[in-house]
Amino acid sequence: MNIDKFQESMYQLIIETSTNLPRDVRRAIKSAKERENAGTRAAMSLDTITNNIKMADDKVSPICQDTGLPTFKIKTPVGANQLVMKEAIKNAIAQATKDGKLRPNSVDSLTGSNSGDNLGFGTPVIKFEQWEKDYIDARLILKGGGCENKNVQYSLPCELEELGRAGRDLDGIRKCIMHSVYQAQGQGCSAGFIGVGIGGDRSSGYDLAKEQLFRSVDDVNPNEDLRKLEDYVMENANELGIGTMGFGGETTLLGCKVGVMNRIPASFFVSVAYNCWAFRRLGVAISMETGEINEWMYQEGEHIDFGASEAELETAAVAETAEQTDIVTLQAPITEEQIRSLKVGDVVQINGMMYTGRDAIHHHLMDHDAPVDLNGQVIYHCGPVMMKDEEGKWHVKAAGPTTSIREEPYQGDIMKKFGIRAVIGKGGMGPKTLAALEEHGGVYLNAIGGAAQYYADCIKSVEGVDLMEFGIPEAMWHLKVEGFTAVVTMDSHGNSLHKDVDKSSLEKLAEFKERVF
Ligand code: SF4
């Protein structure tokens, strides 16, 4: 095989997977959009999501800034040299990272230092299998941390909140799957897709769950019991009312695929792999002779580009003008009085400066001074994809919010210590932060998870960067923004939309205790 051509094919697979959402996923998002009630926060989020998909298409840029842990599944004919192929894949990964199509995501687990090129022990994941066919089947999934952290594994029998005992049978499995959707809330950037693995051990069960994510969204399970189970989950999970981004709404789940394997008598695991709406997985069939791509997978059917028609643009312009009056504009530095006037549900638009801060920055700020004056300022939970031009100027390639709950141990203390007035992220925060918002006068703003192109477009310039020793995603970037839109989901009066949706969805979950399929 021509290994240079194979490397080029792998590079194309990576670029397409990061920037171009597959057609089966687009169909699912389109139907969710059609189901949603106009004018709701969920509808607004879905609009942002579809705009973002279109922008990623047009710019050939990452759909979401978190390009995850690249995971390849490759089937090769007998005799293929997998060692050489592995090297070619690593080269393609390093090149795609250099070109700003993947975020450098590989960090030393002990020191936290970032390798900078997505290569390192254990990254990327490349799984080979041999098969009898004469071509290579190569598939790739880019699954980000926000949804990866919402994966869950149940060891049956077990007791589930509001659902009671989940036994070692199909009904017990049904309860676990319903619970898995509830526990994810909006934190994995719902609406999401789930892959479920029944059986195996702890590691093979998760592998089986992830394997399901390689099935097409609209396929039909050949196992009749599992087909019924998948249909049941798809018909009922949306009743939980978690909705897009956990804002409430009609669509919580976009797809459910279940697989089964044998287990040992002593163990019974149900493993669930949760994937966000930015469900980036593609596949190619590659010629063994030439190394070139002969076919793309998951691309059957009509292409949905989410571009607005002229009539839609006109309606949107009218609606936008009508809504402008309801949008609160904030310019940093923000006063306590302005912040205390905000309440859950308000839509805000930020102009001026904001500063990124993720795990390393929050940990650092607990014991150190801030490199800039953060009084009245806005912290953005974001690990952007950045590129430096020839003159040494930084440009933002993708910059959506990251999961905020990881900063729960620090956030309240840091806001009080530095006088920060607003925090932007996704998925909401917990009781400690909510109490601090009330005491200090702060708000939590939920941006639309995964809308990395949409938000990158709101960033007008990169004014500086501090703490680069933490690596690109973890550094503190000083960003000047215009029209950065987000929703107040936790205010300074003790209100939290996340807490409310969690409570109402838990009450709904209780209704599934007895419902059988
Ligand atoms: S869409 Fe959300 S969960 Fe998915 S990779 Fe992006 S930030 Fe993570």
Kindly list the domain boundaries of the chain, sorted by start residue.
1-142+281-320, 145-275, 327-501
For residue 384, the model assigns a pLDDT of 93
* Percentage of the chain lying above the pLDDT 70 cut: 97
Nearest CA to ligand 1 atom 5: 144
Q: What is the pLDDT of residue 498?
A: 95
Reported as a single tens digit per residue, the pLDDT across 8-59 is: 999 999 999 999 999 999 999 999 999 888 888 888 889 999 999 999 999 9
AA letter at 415: M
Probe residue for ligand 1, chosen from 147, 213, 275, 277 as the CB with the greatest number of ligand atoms within 8 Å: 147
> 10 Å Cβ neighbour count for 64?
30
* Closest ligand 1 atom to 143 CA: 5
* CA separation for the pair 400, 187 (Å, rounded): 14
The pair of structure tokens assigned to 448 is: 């639309």
User: Any residues with CB less than 8 A from the CB of 309 and at least 6 apart, and which?
Assistant: none
User: Which among 413, 312, 396 has a CA at the least distance from the CA of 362?
Assistant: 413
Bridge-based pairing of strands 385-388 and 459-466 is unpaired
Give the type of residue at 151: N
CA of residue 514 to ligand 1 center, whole Å: 33
Looking at residue 174, its amino acid is R
pLDDT at position 291 is 97
The pair of structure tokens assigned to 465 is 């960067």
Cβ pair 420, 374 in contact under 8 A: yes
pLDDT digits (tens, 9 = 90+) for 350-402: 999 999 999 999 999 999 999 999 999 999 999 999 999 999 999 999 999 99
CA of residue 145 to ligand 1 center, whole Å: 7
What value does the mean pLDDT take over residues 261-274? 98
Average the pLDDT over 501-510 and give the result: 96
Q: Cα(322) to centroid of ligand 1, in Å?
A: 31
SS3 letters for 471-506?
CCCCCEEEEEEEEEEEEEEECCCCCEHHHHHHHHHH
Average pLDDT, the chain: 94
Query: Can you give the pLDDT at residue 63?
Result: 95
Q: What is the pLDDT of residue 164?
A: 95
- Whether the per-residue pLDDT at 326 is higher than 90: the answer is no
Q: Which atom of ligand 1 is closest in space to residue 142's alpha carbon?
A: 5
In this prediction, residue 86 carries a pLDDT of 98
Give the pLDDT score at 318.
Answer: 47
- Orientation of helix 224-236 relative to helix 170-184, angle to 10°: 40
The pTM (predicted TM-score) of the whole model is: 0.91
Q: Do residues 245 and 47 touch, judged by C-beta distance below 8 A? A: no
Q: How confident is the model at residue 339 (pLDDT cuts 50, 70, 90)?
A: very high
CATH code of the domain occupying 327-501 = 3.20.130.10
Q: Residue with the nearest Cα to atom 7 of ligand 1?
A: 450
What is the distance in A from the centroid of ligand 1 to the CA of 10? 23
- Rounded mean pLDDT of 1-9? 96
Tell me the per-residue pLDDT of 191-221, one tens digit each, with 9 for 90 and over: 999 999 999 999 999 999 999 999 999 999 9
The residues, ordered by sequence, that sit 6+ positions from 132 with a Cβ below 8 Å of its Cβ are 77, 78
pLDDT value of position 309: 54
DSSP symbol at 191 = S
Reduced to 3 states (helix: H, G, I; strand: E, B; else coil), residue 117 is coil
Cα 223 from Cα 259, distance rounded (Å): 9
Q: Which of 290-299, 309-318, 505-514 has the lowest mean pLDDT?
A: 309-318
Q: Which atom of ligand 1 is nearest to the CA of 401?
A: 7
Tokens of 148: 């990866």
Ligand 1 centroid vs 279 CA: distance in angstroms? 9
Closest ligand 1 atom to residue 188 Cα is: 3
CA of 421 to the centre of ligand 1 (A): 25
Residues within 6 Å of ligand 1 by CB:
64, 66, 144-147, 188-189, 276, 278, 400, 449-450
Please check the confidence at residue 4 and state whether its pLDDT lies above 50.
yes
Rounded Cα gap, residues 468 and 392, in angstroms:
15
The β-bridge relationship of strands 378-380 and 422-425 is parallel
DSSP per-residue letters across 134-145: SEEEEEEEE--H
Q: Name which residue sits closest to atom 4 of ligand 1, judged by CA.
A: 276
pLDDT tens digits, one per residue of 404-455: 999 999 999 999 999 999 999 999 999 999 999 999 999 999 999 989 999 9
Q: By C-alpha distance, which of 216, 294, 217, 303 is closest to 20?
A: 303
What's the CA gap between 499 and 185, in Å, rounded? 10
Q: Cα Rg for the chain, rounded, in angstroms?
A: 23
Q: Which pLDDT tens digit goes with each residue over 69-85?
A: 999 999 999 999 999 99
In the 8-state DSSP scheme, what is residue 509? Answer: H
Tell me the two tokens of residue 73.
């599944």
Lowest mean pLDDT of 184-188, 303-307, 462-466, name the range: 303-307
Give the integer Cα–Cα distance in Å for 102 and 104: 6
DSSP 3-state of 65: coil
Cis peptide before 124 (omega within 30 of 0): yes
Q: How far is the CA of 427 from the centre of ligand 1 (A)?
A: 11
Per-residue model confidence as pLDDT tens digits over 474-486: 999 999 999 999 9
Structure letter (DSSP) for residue 37: P
Question: For atom 6 of ligand 1, which residue has the closest CA?
Answer: 450
Whole-number Å distance, alpha carbon 401 to ligand 1 midpoint, is 8
Nearest to 154 by CA among 211, 223, 215, 200: 200
**Structure confidence by residue, pLDDT tens digits, 129-154:** 999 999 999 999 999 999 999 999 99
Question: Does the pLDDT of residue 497 top 90, yes or no?
Answer: yes
Reported confidence tier of residue 323, pLDDT bands at 50, 70, 90: low
For ligand 1, the distance from its centroid to the CA atom of residue 428, given in whole angstroms, is 14
Buried b (16+ CB within 10 A) or exposed e, 300-317: eeeebebeeeeeeeeeee
Residue 127 β-bridge partners: 73
